[in-house]
Structure 1
Amino acid sequence: MDANQLLELVKRYQDSKSFITNEETAKLALVVPFIKLLGYDPGFPREVRLEYAADFVQGDGKKLPDRMDFAIFDQTGAKPLIVIETKPLGTDLKSRAQQLARYLSQLPELHFGIITDGCHYLFFGDLENPNVMDPEPFFTFSLEDSKADWAKVAKFLSKFSRESFNATTLITDAENSRYRQSMIDKLSAVLKAPGENEGFLKWLTEDIYKGKRTTAVMERLAEVAKEAIEPTLLRVMGDDFLNKLKERIQRLNEGTEPPAAVEGPNVVKADSARPFETEPRAPGDDKGRATVETTEEELAFFAVVRDICGKNGHPADDILYRDTSNYFNVSFKRPTKWFVRFFGNGKRKSIVTWIPVEEAKTLAAGFEVEAAPAAFGLSRVYIETIPQVWALKALVARSLELSLTVKDEVLSGEDPRTTLKVVSSQ
């Protein structure tokens, strides 16, 4: 399985979701294709059995017949590897996972179960105690997750494929996945509110503050720690993170890694941002049109801008992007309502906004700011790395605010400097 195959399933979901009104349709439209992606043949009962029935012994000794929607077996047809239960689209899956628990408890060779509504997939195992299903899934993914790294998801899912399935190594991988997610959750909670974790705050400051730790002192250190988080993340992301990001971009350009972008409510057709008109234009296709290709860097820029807007109360679905041959456009609710543009393929990276130059200089203190070319916006701010956009969150928020005062006809073609008078007079 590779990311492109998963992206086909994502597109299938997007095209079909409005027509999926019951469990059976979800099975046929989405779950059966998913099983095929894993390399199993739903039409070959040695490998895949529909409505698989087993008798479970209750506490009173009576047998209770039960059925799973799908049971996947090894190539001999004797050993169950995975059971899959399907629910209607939109079901609270975690609360309905007890049927999986019954199977894991009474089939000694079975260690993995999946519950899904066709869109969301929750993988459960018996990692803590054999044949006792863990209360939390060790892996989840969703076909409507616009931020998903589909290459990583595909790599993980490939371990469950017909050719690669190995229960022993899978248990180790599943444990690592669960540990990793727990670490992510714990680090995220600590970084968001360092003062609420006494142990973390003590560790962070033990070699820094030598005085008596009164309540007032700890509250003061908590505030300082909170202020230190963002510069720390920018420093880390500016080095190791961006080096890895550049490597991914290089692999994408060489065609050795599939793109992670998918189509959806936040996504317009993938293109590529290009520099200002003074830079060389993108090569054309056989009809003379400029070719475009969205880069990982542009998608990273979009993710940061969307998160900034989210922290200012704007739903993620309202923030859109559209790529062009000259720049990468981010807009509000509709493509014509742009509020920030990213120029990433020139000699220097920059973003363009609706903010007048003098105000932009105030909001982007420490950055080089100049007037933007008349055709593109009002002010241009030069950046070196995408994480630096976090330091410009006030600039992004203000440009969005100003864009909402601009008429669509101005957004779509008139000289933006005409709008400066409109905005400044309000």
Structure 2
Amino acid sequence: MEADLKLKLEQLHKRVDALKDQINTEEATKNAFVMPFIQILGYDIFNPTEVIPEFICDIGTKKGEKVDYVIKKDGEPILIIECKHWKEHADAHNSQLHRYYHVSKARFGVLTNGHTYNFYADLEKPNIMDEKPFFTLDLSDLKTSSLKILENFTKQGYNLESILDSAEALKYIKAIRNEFEKELQEPSDEMVKLLVSRFFDRPLTSSRLATFKEYTRKAFSNSINESISFRLKNALHINESVPSKELEQITPIHENTETPRFITTEEEMEGSQIVKAILRESLPASRIAFRDTQSYFGILLDDNNRKPLCRLHFNATNKYIELFHNGKDNGERKQLASLDDLYSYKAELLSTLKHYEEIKIKPE
């Protein structure tokens, strides 16, 4: 079921990207993007007892207030959905969803702009929707863990107990991760004092604290680097005792830098291995080099900047492969719905390689 769900959501993402520039209203966003999503979850959008559009939620003296959709199962509301225009943020700040949630009797609320879906519950106070979502689904970034959670919201797999059991963990794990990432970028005084107090028994003056802040930042950076290098070595089956030129090239943080300029992501590593597997049909691994930059992840022939085989642009919401036809400086970008799409460009990659092999380029 998970594979089928992923395939349908990937197709929806392609639809959203293809049509969004022609969608000018919130109503059009609902019809073109949100209704297909509800259908993918298995609910009958043509059954008014199961998927109810413009559901009336009377709030105190306010009569006739409407929520965009209410989904019912066995006659009971399980999910309310409020929609925004695809250009708006799916943020519950100043959203009517808070008010609708209070009177709807549904345990979960969703705020969406058609490509991002934020799921809310009442983990903080009963019957009052939390300020922050416990789960976010981004159609452009379909993680396996997200698909497993979403399965519990499908008509076939709806499981209230399972969702409630994991909702609190999801909410607070996300919050802790956000705080942790802030500390990695800029260690707080509290974090530095906590760590340093475990091995430094002298008073921390302001100047000492500033020094240890720099040490902490560098320690975090080195730790991330080593973790990335270790995982990459395993992926490339490189012997730990042999220095690797490729690893030196791909390492995003150098020893003499105080803070990381960029970090090679798991997706970039996985994507580079797919490209490498394609090229290995015609080329030894020693001639394939990697270089990470702030704007793209480059894959080069013979570690030569004038011989780019392709570039992976994975740092934005939409992901692209940049192809180089006949060795031209300006490549052609092709959008990727998933990493598997890289295999579709095998012919182009091998053609670029063949071009470089047929001509003689002066070394840099």
Structure 2-normalised TM-score?
0.68
Asked whether the 8 Å contact 1:104–1:126 carries over to 2, the reply is: no
Q: Quote the residue 1:168 is aligned against.
A: 161
Asked whether the 8 Å contact 2:107–2:122 carries over to 1, the reply is: yes
Task: From the superposition, tell whether residues 176 and 69 of structure 1 become closer, same or farther in structure 2 (CA, over 3 Å).
Answer: same
Asked whether the 8 Å contact 1:6–1:154 carries over to 2, the reply is: no
- What pairs up with 1:115-126 in 2 under 5 angstroms? 115-126=111-122
Q: Quote the residue 1:45 is aligned against.
A: 48
Asked whether the 8 Å contact 2:92–2:131 carries over to 1, the reply is: no
SS of 1:65's partner is coil
- What pairs up with 1:313-324 in 2 under 5 angstroms? 319=296
Match for 1:135 among 131, 134, 142? 131
Task: From the superposition, tell whether residues 44 and 243 of structure 1 become closer, same or farther in structure 2 (CA, over 3 Å).
Answer: farther
Could you tell me how far apart the structure 2 residues matched to 1:85 and 1:180 are? 25
Q: Does the alignment pair 1:101 with 2:46?
A: no
- Output the amino acid matched with 1:329: C
Match for 1:335 among 323, 326, 329? 323
- What pairs up with 1:181-196 in 2 under 5 angstroms? 181-194=174-187
Asked whether the 8 Å contact 1:320–1:334 carries over to 2, the reply is: no
SS of 2:65's partner is strand
Match for 1:32 among 31, 35, 38? 35
Task: From the superposition, tell whether residues 192 and 33 of structure 1 become closer, same or farther in structure 2 (CA, over 3 Å).
Answer: same
Task: Report deviation, 1:411.
Answer: 8.5
Identity percentage over the alignment? 24
Task: Report deviation, 1:97.
Answer: 5.4
Asked whether the 8 Å contact 1:84–1:115 carries over to 2, the reply is: yes
Match for 1:88 among 81, 85, 89? 85
SS of 2:123's partner is coil
Task: Report deviation, 1:190.
Answer: 0.7
Q: Does the alignment pair 1:417 with 2:362?
A: yes
RMSD: 3.8
Task: From the superposition, tell whether residues 21 and 322 of structure 1 become closer, same or farther in structure 2 (CA, over 3 Å).
Answer: farther
Match for 1:275 among 276, 280, 286? 280
Could you tell me how far apart the structure 2 residues matched to 1:30 and 1:171 are? 27
Task: From the superposition, tell whether residues 120 and 323 of structure 1 become closer, same or farther in structure 2 (CA, over 3 Å).
Answer: farther
Q: Which runs of 5+ in 2 are unaligned?
A: 238-265, 302-306, 314-320, 332-351
- What pairs up with 1:264-413 in 2 under 5 angstroms? 272-275=277-280, 277=282, 279=284, 305=292, 308-310=293-295, 319=296, 329-330=310-311, 335-336=323-324, 337=329
Q: Which runs of 5+ in 1 are unaligned?
A: 247-259, 262-266, 281-297, 311-318, 340-374, 377-409, 421-426
Could you tell me how far apart the structure 2 residues matched to 1:183 and 1:82 are? 27
Could you tell me how far apart the structure 2 residues matched to 1:150 and 1:168 are? 22
SS of 2:133's partner is coil
How many residues matched? 288
Could you tell me how far apart the structure 1 residues matched to 2:233 and 2:299 are? 23
Match for 1:13 among 16, 34, 38? 16
Task: Report deviation, 1:129.
Answer: 0.6
Q: Quote the residue 1:151 is aligned against.
A: 144
Asked whether the 8 Å contact 1:111–1:125 carries over to 2, the reply is: yes
Task: Report deviation, 1:90.
Answer: 0.8
Match for 2:219 among 228, 248, 251? 228
Structure 1-normalised TM-score?
0.59
Could you tell me how far apart the structure 1 residues matched to 2:128 and 2:235 are? 39
